[in-house]
Each structure stands twice: as structure tokens, then as C-alpha cells.
Structure 1
């Protein structure tokens, strides 16, 4: 089930962002379920070469990320053209990456998940089945450029259970009541 954009409004794309291990997928899936919006895992848009590189413990550079970000942007635009609101995960670590995503034909908003690097390292140590090794965590935090005041989005600490993180995000975005969805 999805709630289409109302009265000709531009469909919304919520991009749940932050370094690996902060809880993007859990948060995005819960938001998607709560709002009834389509969900996509941004990692599925990576070309095989990027996954191989990360699996080998080599950080991606801007050149590696460009086609990945463009695929995500284009998916958002396709969904928006069909009148669908979406929630998608994407590290979106740099402002320039977010600028590419904002080119989508949607009302693009960001939810930056904020966590202590030590907490994230602990989470990643217990995570199974993901290609991103914990050895790349430091490079992700070093690359991260927090959302700026002029960017459409909110920062939410992940120091509480996921349901509370989601509620904080939706309240901050003004999407906490059915009438505003």
C-alpha cells in the first residue's frame, strides 16, 4: 500500500542517511511501514565493482559513487513520476552527493541518523551478511559532512529504540499525523 501525493503535490522521497551501521535500513523500513510508502535499500543500486571494492576493504571514492547516486536519483524520479512517495537508504555522506539526489523529480528530504562511532563499531561487529566491513567505518565517519542548515532534512540521534527514532524523525519532518502524510 502507498499513499499517493495529494492534490498535485510533488511526491516525497525520504532518504535515510549516515555511515554504515547507524541503522538506516531498520529506520527506513519502519518509516515505510508506518507511512505505507515504497521502500528501497540503496545498497542494491551499487554496481558489482563497488561491492567488490568495499568487500575488499577499499573505500569508495567520488568517481565510484557517482553512477550509484545517479541510479538512486533516477529511481526516485521514476517513482515520483508514478505519484509514489518513497523511503530509501543511502549513506549520502557528502553534500555534493546529496545535491545529486536532490536533482530527483520529487520533494527530497533527508533523515540523518546520528550515532557515536563506538556504538556503530559495536553494531557492525555483530552484523552478519553485509558486504561492508567494519574496517571501512572510520573512512565513512571521516567522509561524513553533516546536513547543513539550508538542506531539507532533520538529524535524529539513534540513542533510543528504533521505534522512537522513527517517531522523532516523523515529528521533526511534520509527517507524524495521517493528515500530513
Structure 2
């Protein structure tokens, strides 16, 4: 595998994607992007009302992210992206860009993540959608460019594992 230029921190809502991706961006170094910023206002409103997005609704979102990643890497940037990546087809869409990337999968169980979601404030994703996130998740553990990182670890340990994965190349 080539040295990645894009680190994609993935997992269900509340797993700590933003926290870890920001830490990776600072330490690697890279530009931090949050995939949530690529959602339309309509998609955000739908999720805030407790309704999950359909795959059809997610497709243009993933396409916008892929295009932006391509522009940034072509301009010489490294990117650390916080992205749910719940479906393999969405991960494959980002892989189809041909960009050198690595997925960092924040893996954890629903009770731990629900507790984390309950403690955060000001996020549009309600805890009530966590079950739909787990139902949608197609775990990426058999995919060659994915490294699993436990949700329950302290951020500093997650970052150490993430940086080791990004520095490893075949």
C-alpha cells in the first residue's frame, strides 16, 4: 500500500470521529475536514428530526466529499476526514478516486457510544438514530486499507495507533 495522503476516520455517530480526525490533522499534519459539513441543509434537518438518510440521499453527499478530496490532494494537501463510512459502497466511492488513503475505523459497542452521544451538546444527530447507524454499518474489518481502533481507548492512544497506521507502508 502506498503512503496515504488521506486519513479517513470512520465509524458510527458518537464514536469520536471528529476528535480523532482533528488530532490526526494536527499531528500528521493535514487539513481537517468533517464530512458532516458536506451534508445539505435538507439532509441535516431530516437527521435532526430523527429520520435516517437513505442510500439514495447519501450518494450526492459522498460524491461531494470525493470531489473535494481530489481537489485538495491534487493541490498538494494531506487530509484528515471525519466520515461515517457506514456502507462499503461509500468507502468504495472514495477509493474509486484513486487517491492514496487509509481508513481508521473507530470500533465500539452501542452502549458505550450512546453514553458518549448523550453527553455531547449541540450536535444535530440524536441518540435515537444510533440503532439505525449500527443497522446500516457494514463493518470494514476485511478491507485491506482499514485499521480498527477501539472507541474506548483514550484519544492519545487512538492517535498513536492512527499515526502508526498512516506511517506504515508496504
Q: TM-score range by the shorter chain?
A: over 0.9
* TM-score normalised to structure 1 length: 0.88
Runs ≥4 residues deviating over 3 A: none
Find the aligned partners of 1:103 and 1:153 in 2 and give their Cα distance.
15
How many residue pairs get matched?
168
Gaps of 5+ in 2: none
Of residues 32, 53, 68, the one that matches 1:39 is: 32
Gaps of 5+ in 1: 1-8
Match in the other structure for 1:60:
53
Find the aligned partners of 2:9 and 2:143 in 1 and give their Cα distance.
17
Residue 128 of structure 1 pairs with residue 117 of structure 2:
no
Q: Is the 8 A contact 1:12 1:86 kept in 2?
A: yes
Find the aligned partners of 1:167 and 1:12 in 2 and give their Cα distance.
17
Q: CA deviation at 1:105?
A: 4.2
**Larger relative contact order (C-alpha < 8 A, sep ≥ 6)?**
2
Aligned-residue CA RMSD (Å)? 1.6
Find the aligned partners of 2:27 and 2:143 in 1 and give their Cα distance.
27
Counterpart secondary structure, 1:74:
helix
Residue 89 of structure 1 pairs with residue 78 of structure 2:
no
Q: Is the 8 A contact 1:11 1:84 kept in 2?
A: no
Residue 114 of structure 1 pairs with residue 107 of structure 2:
yes
Residue 146 of structure 1 pairs with residue 139 of structure 2:
yes
Q: Is the 8 A contact 2:86 2:136 kept in 1?
A: yes
Q: CA deviation at 1:112?
A: 0.4
Asked which structure has the greater CA Rg, the reply is: 1
* TM-score normalised to structure 2 length: 0.93
